[in-house]
Amino acid sequence: MRLIRQITPQGKVRVLMTSLCDTERFPLEAFAELYHQRWRIEEAFNRLKHRLHLEHTSGLSWLAARQDFGAKAVCDNLAALAAWCAAQ
């Protein structure tokens, strides 16, 4: 394991842990932007997972879970569309 200490422009200290131990192939400078990009994606998935309650399905089969996911995604998109229309 490799620990990378990074100080943000706001002065916050971040410690990143990675299994990429080759410092020549993966220099310290490469991690700041990668972490920043990954963090936004992870947060987006986390918000989506919680907003759609993906841990809860109406059935135990793969088909039921798939149908629930599709229905929840459609409902979330419709709610976003309604909110956008209301804001116009």
Q: What is the pLDDT of residue 67?
A: 93
Residues 5 and 47 in one domain: yes
Domain region containing 16: 1-52
> Which pLDDT band, with edges at 50, 70 and 90, does 84 fall under?
very high
Task: State the total domains in the chain.
Answer: 2
Q: Are residues 39 and 64 in the same domain?
A: no
Instruction: Based on the fold, state whether residues 2 and 43 are members of the same structural domain.
Output: yes
pLDDT at 19 over 80: yes
Residues 5 and 32 in one domain: yes
Report residue 74's pLDDT band, with 50, 70 and 90 as the boundaries.
Answer: very high
What DSSP assignment string belongs to the chain? -EEEEEE-TTS-EEEEEES---TTTS-HHHHHHHHHHHHHHHHHHHHHHHHHTTT--S-SSHHHHHHHHHHHHHHHHHHHHHHHHHH-
